[in-house]
């Protein structure tokens, strides 16, 4: 894949997330630059670009990726800039009265996404990659690791498209249209895997962390998630069978966090500084790893 060298002096940073930084172009307002952290390999960044382009080509509402680039140290992509966008998280922070509306749109878009068969020659098996990640992490106690791997093995085999990180900040709206963003974890598998993040975070994520990521507190995230899930699952949402499955999904996410979060910016938040890494991760994981 051709890699374009960029001059970072032509770009202005406007924000960062757990694994990278975003920039506006100083002379072209139709594009943005997304650069990964320097620790992200060129190969991994290329794969993210390839997947983002494939998602767009499938007709899934998302920003169009244009070029794979590097600043000499970091790798990323130039993508379409969606003008006047607002994330659902920002809207919820300013207009909590729109909770049901935004949760309903999330459910509508999630169901539409989950109805699309995924190209398994382009995208990876989310359950398999999650399993390999957790199996290879020796900081997770053996009994917990074994239990969580068993939960992954019990998931339904499927080739359903998965976003990989459905949350109120990964849906944006602009000029009456809704788009998915942050498609680096796009894959295929049991649709329940798309509920991992919010099922776990809305129960046990510390509010400072939730505010940093989603711009809302845990209570608001919980209400949004409950409304989204009710509108997605309908009457099934209240069943004991589904609730048991969702609890297991949350534990999968807790174990996955042990693998991912040490390399993310979020562990350097002020409220975590000065704490040992294990303590910081325990704040995120809560009691999920102690259940059963």
> What is residue 291's predicted lDDT score, i.e. its pLDDT?
40
Ranges 28-42, 191-205, 242-256, 276-290: which has the least confidence: 276-290
Report how many domains make up the chain: 2
Beta sheet of 124-125, edge-to-edge order = 124-125, 187-188, 161-162
Q: In Å, what is the CA distance from 213 to each residue of 153, 210, 218?
A: 30, 5, 11
Band the pLDDT of 278: cuts 50, 70, 90: low
> What is residue 289's predicted lDDT score, i.e. its pLDDT?
46
Residues 163 and 120 in one domain: yes
Number of Cβ within a 10 Å radius of residue 186: 26
For residue 219, the number of C-alpha atoms closer than 13 Å in the C-beta half-sphere is 1
Which of 80, 114, 135 is where one domain is finished?
Answer: 80
> What is residue 286's predicted lDDT score, i.e. its pLDDT?
52
Residues 185 and 276 in one domain: yes
Mean pLDDT (the chain, rounded): 88
Q: Print the domain residue range for 282.
A: 86-290
Tell me the C-alpha distance between 137 and 238, whole Å.
34
Does the structure show a pLDDT above 80 at 204? no
Residues 174 and 47 in one domain: no
> What is residue 212's predicted lDDT score, i.e. its pLDDT?
83
Residues 17 and 64 in one domain: yes
Tell me the C-alpha distance between 226 and 244, whole Å.
15
CA angle 201-129-72, nearest 5°?
90
- What residues pair up with 75 in beta bridges, in sequence order? 70
Residues 64 and 91 in one domain: no
Residues 66 and 123 in one domain: no
Tell me the C-alpha distance between 249 and 68, whole Å.
34
Supply the CATH number for residue 100's domain: 3.90.1200.10
Does the structure show a pLDDT above 80 at 199? yes
Tell me the C-alpha distance between 269 and 196, whole Å.
23
Band the pLDDT of 280: cuts 50, 70, 90: very low
Which of 49, 80, 111 is where one domain is finished?
Answer: 80
The radius of gyration of the chain's CA atoms, rounded to the nearest angstrom, is 19
Supply the CATH number for residue 22's domain: 3.30.200.20
């Amino acid at each position: 894949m051709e890699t374009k060298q960029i001059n970072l002096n032509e770009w202005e940073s406007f924000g960062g997330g757990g694994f990278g930084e975003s920039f506006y172009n100083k002379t072209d307002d139709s594009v943005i630059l997304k650069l990964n952290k320097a620790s992200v390999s060129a190969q991994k960044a290329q794969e993210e670009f390839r997947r983002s382009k494939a998602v767009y080509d499938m007709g899934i509402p998302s920003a169009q990726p244009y070029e794979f680039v590097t600043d000499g140290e970091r790798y990323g992509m130039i993508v379409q800039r969606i003008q006047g966008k607002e994330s659902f998280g920002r809207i919820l922070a300013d207009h909590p009265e729109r909770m049901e509306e935004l949760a309903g749109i999330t459910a509508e878009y999630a169901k539409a996404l989950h109805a699309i068969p995924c190209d398994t020659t382009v995208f990876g098996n989310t359950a398999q990659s999650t399993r390999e990640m957790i199996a290879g992490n020796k900081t997770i106690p053996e009994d917990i690791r074994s239990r969580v791997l068993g939960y992954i093995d019990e998931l339904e085999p499927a080739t359903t498209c998965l976003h990989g990180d459905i949350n109120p900040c990964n849906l944006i709206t602009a000029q009456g249209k809704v788009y998915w963003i942050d498609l680096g974890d796009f894959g295929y598998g049991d649709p329940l895997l798309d509920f991992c993040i919010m099922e776990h975070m809305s129960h046990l994520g510390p509010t400072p962390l939730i505010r940093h990521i989603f711009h809302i507190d845990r209570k608001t995230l919980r209400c949004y998630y409950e409304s989204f899930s009710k509108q997605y699952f309908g009457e099934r949402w209240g069943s004991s069978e589904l609730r048991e499955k969702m609890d297991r999904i949350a534990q999968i996410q807790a174990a996955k966090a042990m693998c991912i979060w040490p390399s993310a910016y979020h562990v350097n938040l002020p409220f975590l500084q000065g704490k040992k890494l294990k303590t910081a991760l325990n704040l995120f994981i809560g009691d999920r790893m102690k259940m059963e």
